[in-house]
């Protein structure tokens, strides 16, 4: 028997009440869709192709994405997806879990320009992004908008404004430690593992004045916790489409790892906050002793604010640099002639035993083009969250490149030489983002990568890939990295008398 619901003027069956509720909800969703379509027409815009618009088709897309990601085929998958779109919306599409929530993804440079620069204040990270990332990154530069974001950028930017000699000392110290761990000529090493440990040590050295020592102790709790949190963040990002049901997923390990990160970082924060203000001011005059943490403490005494900015810069400073170096040596291992050309330039400017300076690093064009070409083919951060830009797909748009010729190799190939006669048009190449959110640490990252390549090719003149080079895949977590590591053998150059 169907129960009744009593109302003031009688009763109606519960099933009928439920049906009425469903009808009202459908009309509500329909009204939202009509209102949005009217707004789009009023703006004179064209709506992107709607790939999925309900929980069933949206869930299928999420499962498809998870499957491709597990197969390390996410870059190929998005290329396939864009190629499946109709001609009038070949570079943009929309998907919805419920009509009340829209996600638009694009690889159109004009869209990127509008979102990151032209109409910057109308777009931002938004509350969903903040909810997903704030347990890890708090209210840092990567999770906030408006005044909070502006304040975060103001705290961080001063430490990246000048070419500090202390940065080169840090790079040299940690890179030398890393090179000492590379086995003798002809023996295999996963250089990607060493790059991630080295950049973690260099970044903590820069931020805290003391290295995490992951090169000597790769199994530290902090190192494992940091890696695990990043893996979990990607899971949270994918599950966001099921909000609010995404909260039902287990997150115990995630929060335990965050506590381990805080247990490593917070003692340094408390120690710095205990320094008297006059001592902090004295430290500002010391290029070698003044750290990023000292600079933050000069402007705020709030331990949470300092903690959030430290962890954010640690993420940016470690992963993107290590991943780009890994891809660079993966590519170079397939091109002995390019290794030879790059090493010849290094020896010309620095010699076999000289110490690189900012001036010499900036003077070496082929070195700079090698890094730029690596970032073109393998963007360190493949998805720009606030603009929904697929940087991999943007780089693979052949219509954005000139025809293949003697001066311009096929865009799918690694060719630093192309940069001598070609420069990408604005917003077609954004390895460090653009507009107000352009990465304040890009010079720091470019210098660290250049310094590392110089030091390694001063010692080695040949790189041999140990594995199936063509089987390599892109593992897309927070950053893009080689899925199978970079197993190589280095061969020491014969020292000239």
Its pTM stands at 0.89
3 state DSSP class of 276: coil
Residue 323 forms part of a structural domain: yes
Residue 358 forms part of a structural domain: yes
Domain count, the chain: 2
Point out the domain boundary residue: 45, 63, 78: 45
Point out the domain boundary residue: 9, 28, 45: 45
Q: Which residue has the higher pLDDT, 233 or 174?
A: 174
CATH of the domain at 147: 1.10.630.10
Compute the distance between CA of residue 319 and CA of residue 480 in angstroms, rounded to an integer: 9
Please indicate, yes or no, whether residues 182 and 329 belong to a single structural domain of this protein.
Answer: yes
Mean per-residue pLDDT for 203-207?
92
Phi, psi of 301 (to 5 degrees): -110, 10
pLDDT surpasses 90 at 138 = yes
Please indicate, yes or no, whether residues 327 and 184 belong to a single structural domain of this protein.
Answer: yes
Of 141-145, 323-327, 368-372, where does mean pLDDT reach its minimum? 141-145
Please indicate, yes or no, whether residues 39 and 186 belong to a single structural domain of this protein.
Answer: no
Please indicate, yes or no, whether residues 328 and 211 belong to a single structural domain of this protein.
Answer: yes
Q: Cα separations (Å) of 117 from 13, 67, 106, 392, 427?
A: 56, 34, 16, 20, 10
pLDDT surpasses 50 at 387 = no
Please indicate, yes or no, whether residues 352 and 205 belong to a single structural domain of this protein.
Answer: yes
Please indicate, yes or no, whether residues 4 and 143 belong to a single structural domain of this protein.
Answer: no
Compute the distance between CA of residue 270 and CA of residue 425 in angstroms, rounded to an integer: 47
Please indicate, yes or no, whether residues 29 and 150 belong to a single structural domain of this protein.
Answer: no
Please indicate, yes or no, whether residues 304 and 427 belong to a single structural domain of this protein.
Answer: yes
Confidence of residue 1 (pLDDT cuts 50, 70, 90): very low
Please indicate, yes or no, whether residues 242 and 357 belong to a single structural domain of this protein.
Answer: yes
Residue 41 forms part of a structural domain: yes
The H or E element spanning position 460 is strand 460-465
Task: Specify the pLDDT at position 329.
Answer: 98
Task: Specify the pLDDT at position 2.
Answer: 46
Domain boundaries, position 267: 136-492
346 exposure class (CB count in 10 Å sphere: 0-12, 13-18, 19+): buried
Please indicate, yes or no, whether residues 310 and 168 belong to a single structural domain of this protein.
Answer: yes
Compute the distance between CA of residue 48 and CA of residue 40 in angstroms, rounded to an integer: 10
Residue 81 forms part of a structural domain: no
């Amino acid at each position: 028997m169907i129960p009744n619901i009593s109302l003031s003027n009688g009763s109606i069956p519960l099933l009928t009440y439920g049906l009425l509720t469903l009808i009202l909800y459908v009309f509500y969703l329909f009204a939202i869709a009509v209102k949005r379509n009217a707004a789009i027409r009023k703006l004179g815009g064209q709506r992107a192709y709607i790939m999925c618009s309900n929980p069933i088709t949206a869930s299928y897309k999420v499962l498809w994405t998870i499957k491709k990601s597990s197969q390390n085929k996410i870059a190929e998958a998005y290329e396939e997806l864009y190629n499946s779109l109709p001609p009038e919306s070949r570079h943009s599409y929309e998907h919805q879990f419920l009509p009340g929530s829209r996600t638009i993804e694009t690889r159109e440079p004009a869209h990127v320009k509008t979102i990151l620069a032209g109409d910057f204040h109308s777009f931002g990270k938004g509350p969903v992004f903040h909810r997903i990332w704030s347990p890890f990154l708090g209210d840092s530069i990567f999770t906030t908008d408006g005044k909070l974001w502006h304040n975060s950028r103001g705290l961080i930017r001063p430490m990246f404004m000048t070419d500090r000699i202390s940065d080169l000392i840090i790079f040299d110290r940690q890179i030398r430690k890393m090179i000492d761990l590379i086995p003798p000529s002809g023996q295999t090493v996963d250089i990607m593992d060493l790059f991630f440990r080295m950049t973690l040590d260099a970044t903590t050295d820069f931020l805290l004045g003391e290295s995490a020592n992951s090169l000597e102790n790769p199994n530290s709790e902090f190192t494992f916790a940091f890696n695990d949190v990043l893996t979990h963040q990607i899971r949270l990002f994918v599950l966001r489409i099921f909000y609010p049901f995404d909260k039902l997923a287990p997150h115990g390990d995630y929060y335990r790892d965050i506590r381990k990160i805080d247990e490593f970082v917070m003692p340094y924060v408390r120690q710095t906050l205990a320094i008297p203000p006059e001592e902090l001011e004295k430290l500002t005059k010391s290029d070698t002793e003044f750290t990023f943490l000292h600079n933050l403490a000069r402007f705020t005494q709030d331990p949470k604010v300092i903690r959030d900015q430290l962890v954010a810069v640690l993420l940016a400073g470690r992963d993107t640099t290590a991943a780009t170096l890994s891809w660079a040596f993966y590519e170079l291992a397939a091109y002995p002639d390019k290794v030879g050309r790059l090493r010849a330039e290094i020896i010309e400017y620095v010699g076999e035993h000289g110490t690189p300076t900012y001036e010499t690093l900036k003077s070496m064009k082929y070195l700079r083009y090698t890094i730029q070409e690596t970032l073109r083919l393998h963007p360190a951060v493949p998805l720009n969250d606030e603009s929904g830009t697929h940087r991999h797909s943007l780089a693979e748009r052949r219509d954005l490149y000139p025809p293949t010729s003697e001066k311009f190799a096929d865009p799918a190939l690694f060719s630093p030489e192309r940069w001598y006669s070609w420069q990408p048009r604005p917003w077609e190449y954004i390895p460090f983002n653009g507009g107000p959110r352009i990465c304040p640490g890009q010079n720091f990252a470019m210098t660290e990568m250049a310094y590392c390549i110089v030091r390694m090719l001063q010692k080695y003149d040949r790189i041999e890939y140990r594995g199936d080079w063509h089987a390599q895949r892109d593992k897309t977590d927070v950053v893009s990295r080689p899925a199978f590591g970079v197993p190589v053998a280095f061969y020491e150059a014969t020292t000239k008398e």
